[in-house]
Amino acid sequence: MATIHVDGRSYSVDGADNLLHACLSLGLDIPYFCWHPAMGSVGACRQCAVKQYKDADDDKGMLVMSCMAPVQDDARISIDDEEAREFRASVVEWLMINHPHDCPVCEEGGHCHLQDMTVMTGHDRRRYRFRKRTHRNQYLGPFIAHEMNRCITCYRCVRFYNDYAGGSDLGAFGANYNVYFGRYQEGTLENEFSGNLTEVCPTGVFTDQTHSDRYTRKWDLQFAPGICHQCAVGCNISPGERYGEIRRIENRYHGEVNRYFLCDRGRFGYGYVNRKDRPIEPEWRGEPEADAVALDVNAALDRGSDALRDAYRIIGIGSPRASLESNHQLRELVGEGNFSTGIAAEEQACLELMAELNRTCGLPTPSLWDVEKHDAILVLGEDLIQSAARLGLSVRQAVLGRQGALAEDRGIPVWNAEAVKTLAQDRGYPLFLAYPVATGLDGIAEDSLRLAPDDIARLGHAVAHRIDASAPDVPEPDDRLVRAAERIASALMAAERPLVVSGGSLNSTAILNAAGNIARALSRRARQGGLTLVRREANSTGLQLLGGQTLEWALEQLEAGQADALVVLENDLYQRLPGLCVRHALARARTLIVLDHQRTPTLEQATLALPAASFAEADGTLVSLEGRAQRFFQVYDPGYIRPETRIRESWRWLHALAAGLRREKVADVTLDLVTRDCARRYPVLAGMVAAAPGADYRVQGVKLAREPHRYSGRTSMRANISVSEPRTSQDPDTPFAFSMEGYNGFDRPRQSVAFAWAPGWNSPQAWNKFTDEVGGHLRAGDPGVRLLEPSPGDWVYSSHIPPAYRRPAGEWCIVVLPRLFGGEETSARAEPIQARAGQAVAVLGPEDAAALKISEGGHVRVIAGEGSWILPVRVEAGCPAGLLCIPEGVDPALLGGMSVSLAVSGDQPLDGPGVAGEVHP
């Protein structure tokens, strides 16, 4: 710690910081542009100038850039100094020379850091009378809009995109007053984190293209604290709504999880919420194939309850993309013995094993922020950029962590970003990858091995054995495996904090067991390591903790006539098992009740379809892959703008159905009741209640506002329906109000923040006002509760070591790979994601391609049983012979591990966006 004197007042600050960081952490306002809490200082914009004095006797002082000035004990600075103020005003004046006066039509307006800083410095009069410099803009793909004339050349975009996120197709071109930030030619930005440019850019150069068509100012949006539902990482988001539509997703700061950044699937994959074909009313289908009839709520509940009462046994199929509360209510409705998780057996086996490993390996699961502090990483069987992108970004930061360590050894502070980069060059902590094809982290890996799934498991076991000899060794290892295992084992043992990452992406318990053995071995050798296991969907971890039978079991019950009614919760079974067997089983159900917010093939078959709320219209709790239970809050009431909708939270529907089934009057239910009930019912979930404050939480005696205090148009937004404005929707479930009335400030510590705003800080930079220090934790603590921790016990090594992979003669073995864009069910229904995903492509090794006489871009016909699929081919060097790698989301009939035969095809596949493979059943 060090003491600094700012404008005559003394403060105690962290001596390792720079002055800007220290002052912002103290809550003092210094304007800045090029500095970013996650990216350090470069001293380019010169906006953060302050006066620094040598000692108490120095009354002249000199200007320093606070971002580049290290904190020194007894440092004396002045922010208010006249010369410093004048210089800061000049800097904004210079930045505004070429900046267009287009704020009224600029999409950044209202949450623009440049606006905030301009007001802060007091520059309000234009003196430059000459012509402005202009640029041409580029098409950058479906996510990001480009308006270069607004650029103030702070270099943040390229520093984030290239240095932080590892992109390579955005650069700074030109020089002097004509620096251009863009691609070398027009085209889609390739990096998976490009959306963060919209927040990193301090003005409106890079804006959210998905928001553009239906644009709303930040102050006119209604927000709630959300949790991203597009994968299992559990990033905190701040979705914004207007007129019953989600208009954009912004990052919601969480000190332990996503911090400042999201992946593009999470940010741009929300479009399914706004789809026009969503079910909005209960639909009754008396006979299969008959037209559906819309029902009112009571009629639907009556018919639904009646149908269920008539059944001799009801099976409930839950969903890993639904909340714990909804799954719990379903399980209560059908009974413990009749509940299926709705997860296919292979995946569920992986999930169960992962939960067991998290408890029994002795290594804790680090948060994402903690991942960044590890110094040797092994990733077994995951392409993190595809399966848990935000985690992949954290792994990248962990590797780059060595740069800061090297710099500190040389006396260079870690925040001196360019100097750190210069010193370290391309040195990083060791990262080892084992995966069938190239992964998004190959570029920074010390070694990336291309292996078939079973060989990945064997590599893992060999590593474990070399860390702890009591772990079983691999029988008949080949030289390459031994050499790789030795290198990896010694790197992990040399590290202070080794991290093992694996997961269920390849649906292989063999790989997970191997990862578990490495973790156990590290734990036995007393290493302060970590074990991160990637799950697939938003609530996969939570649903596994809640427990239930597999999806196959549920379908078997129907097939065998053991049950005649089925309730399916937010789950499209056709995404999980081959269509034929799903169709067959569903046809056996006399009553099929489906709750979903998407019009899925499963829902289309329902006797009774109930319109469920998506994450934007519901509250609930999810458990992330880290084991963190996190609450997401309803953003808006869909019935307010569209009174005809009958969308309800699934847990509300299920509660009402259960009451109807028991012929009871539907008693009022609230989220808190369901959450508490769920926590009581499953001891492992007991902590979930504390994931967020209950509905009775108040700040200064009032609820929390979902809308900024400048929210406009409330009295007229329903005027097309009726000139009389109804009372705003009431929210009995959460401490948030559907209103601008309520607390929205930063000065009272709170965990649940719908949107970041502080006086003078309208941009996402306002988050600095909510944290205990810049880049630290929310002052009330970061939200969420950890449920999965290692428990002590005498655990043993797994000895399930698969034999080395041998390709099936004349056939190919399918490996299904996760895919960031298009691989996840709900976001794949969003148009921008479909546009970004393009066609699904199969990957073959060069030997196989040559044998089949297929070249890059050619098409292959995949023949399995009675079906055949046509897919375009990418030939990738290193992909093991005999593997056919196809992306997730093509067809669940193509199961990983399945043997298929291949033939060249002259046919083109159907060109459906996001989906591929013409099916010829």
Q: Which residues face 53 on adjacent strands? A: 76
Q: List, in sequence order, the alpha helices (H) in 236-323.
A: 264-268, 297-310
Paired tokens of 181: 């930030």
Q: Which residues face 592 on adjacent strands? A: 566
176 binds other proteins per the rule CB under 8 A = yes
126 binds other proteins per the rule CB under 8 A = yes
- Of 584 and 710, nearer to other proteins (C-beta) is 710
134 binds other proteins per the rule CB under 8 A = no
- Of 52 and 508, nearer to other proteins (C-beta) is 52
518 binds other proteins per the rule CB under 8 A = no
Interacting residue with other proteins among 18, 47, 532, 834 (CB under 8 A): 47
Which region among 16-24, 93-101, 139-147, 503-511 touches other proteins (by CB under 8 A)? 93-101
174 binds other proteins per the rule CB under 8 A = yes
Which region among 416-424, 470-478, 536-544, 886-894 touches other proteins (by CB under 8 A)? 416-424
Interface map 233-272 toward other proteins (x if CB under 8 A): ----------------------------------------
Interacting residue with other proteins among 45, 205, 221, 894 (CB under 8 A): 45
Q: How far is the CB of 59 from other proteins (least distance, A)?
A: 17
Query: Which phi and psi angles does 469 have, rounded to 5°?
Result: -65, -20
Query: Do 433 and 839 meet the contact criterion of CB atoms below 8 Å apart?
Result: no
Interface map 54-83 toward other proteins (x if CB under 8 A): --------xxx---x---------------
Which region among 92-100, 739-747, 812-820, 834-842 touches other proteins (by CB under 8 A)? 92-100
- Of 64 and 295, nearer to other proteins (C-beta) is 64
Interface map 177-216 toward other proteins (x if CB under 8 A): xxx-------------------------------------
For 41-85, the DSSP string reads: B---S-TTEEEEESSTT-SS-EEEETTTSBP-TTEEEESS-HHHH
Q: How far is the CB of 701 from other proteins (least distance, A)?
A: 28
- Of 131 and 853, nearer to other proteins (C-beta) is 131
- Of 133 and 483, nearer to other proteins (C-beta) is 133
Q: Total number of residues binding other proteins (CB under 8 A)?
A: 48
Residues 7 and 5: their CA atoms lie apart, in Å, by 6
125 binds other proteins per the rule CB under 8 A = yes
Q: How far is the CB of 94 from other proteins (least distance, A)?
A: 4
Q: How far is the CB of 204 from other proteins (least distance, A)?
A: 18
Nearest of 94, 113, 103, 90 to residue 32 by alpha carbon: 113
Q: Beta strand 236-242 with 226-227: parallel, antiparallel or unpaired?
A: antiparallel
Q: Beta strand 785-786 with 859-864: parallel, antiparallel or unpaired?
A: unpaired
Q: How far is the CB of 217 from other proteins (least distance, A)?
A: 15
Residues numbered 94-123 forming contacts with other proteins, rule: CB under 8 A = 94-95, 97-98, 119, 122
Q: How far is the CB of 863 from other proteins (least distance, A)?
A: 50
919 binds other proteins per the rule CB under 8 A = no
Query: Which phi and psi angles does 892 have, rounded to 5°?
Result: -65, -10
Distance of CA 324 to the CA centre of its chain: 18
Which region among 406-414, 462-470, 544-552, 880-888 touches other proteins (by CB under 8 A)? 406-414
Residues numbered 14-43 forming contacts with other proteins, rule: CB under 8 A = 42-43
Residue 496's CB is within 10 A of a number of other CB atoms, namely 11
Q: How far is the CB of 195 from other proteins (least distance, A)?
A: 25
Interacting residue with other proteins among 424, 484, 758, 873 (CB under 8 A): 424
Interacting residue with other proteins among 410, 480, 698, 806 (CB under 8 A): 410
Interacting residue with other proteins among 104, 411, 683, 701 (CB under 8 A): 411
- Of 179 and 881, nearer to other proteins (C-beta) is 179
Q: List, in sequence order, the alpha helices (H) in 335-383.
A: 345-360, 368-371
- Of 91 and 522, nearer to other proteins (C-beta) is 91
* Long-range contact pairs involving 694-702 (C-beta distance under 8 Å, separation at least 24): 694/735, 695/670, 695/671, 695/731, 695/732, 695/733, 695/734, 695/735, 696/672, 696/735, 697/735, 697/752, 698/735, 699/743, 699/745, 699/748, 699/750, 700/743, 700/748, 702/741, 702/742, 702/743
Nearest of 197, 71, 37 to residue 776 by alpha carbon: 37
Q: How far is the CB of 261 from other proteins (least distance, A)?
A: 25
Q: How far is the CB of 85 from other proteins (least distance, A)?
A: 13
Query: Do 755 and 218 meet the contact criterion of CB atoms below 8 Å apart?
Result: yes
Q: Half-sphere exposure of residue 76, counting CA atoms within 13 Å on the CB side?
A: 12
Interacting residue with other proteins among 57, 104, 130, 287 (CB under 8 A): 130
Which residue is associated with the tokens 């329902």? Answer: 606
Identity (one letter) of the amino acid at 869?
A: W
Interacting residue with other proteins among 11, 87, 139, 553 (CB under 8 A): 87
- Of 33 and 260, nearer to other proteins (C-beta) is 33
Q: How far is the CB of 176 from other proteins (least distance, A)?
A: 4
Query: Do 545 and 687 meet the contact criterion of CB atoms below 8 Å apart?
Result: no
Q: Is residue 868 classed as helix, strand or coil in its secondary structure?
A: strand
Q: What angle do CA 392, 247, 294 make, to 5 degrees?
A: 110
Q: Is residue 858 classed as helix, strand or coil in its secondary structure?
A: coil
Residue 46's CB is within 10 A of a number of other CB atoms, namely 19
Q: How far is the CB of 339 from other proteins (least distance, A)?
A: 57
Paired tokens of 6: 């700012």
Q: How far is the CB of 97 from other proteins (least distance, A)?
A: 5
Q: How far is the CB of 532 from other proteins (least distance, A)?
A: 31
Query: Do 350 and 507 meet the contact criterion of CB atoms below 8 Å apart?
Result: yes
Q: How far is the CB of 190 from other proteins (least distance, A)?
A: 21
Query: Do 410 and 647 meet the contact criterion of CB atoms below 8 Å apart?
Result: no
Q: How far is the CB of 205 from other proteins (least distance, A)?
A: 15
Start-to-end CA distance of the chain, whole Å, equals 70
Q: Half-sphere exposure of residue 224, counting CA atoms within 13 Å on the CB side?
A: 29
Q: How far is the CB of 54 from other proteins (least distance, A)?
A: 14
Find the largest Cα–Cα distance for the chain.
92
- Of 3 and 149, nearer to other proteins (C-beta) is 149
Binding site for other proteins (CB under 8 A): 42-47, 49, 62-64, 68, 87, 90-91, 94-95, 97-98, 119, 122, 124-130, 133, 152-153, 155, 172, 174-179, 410-412, 416, 418-419, 422-425
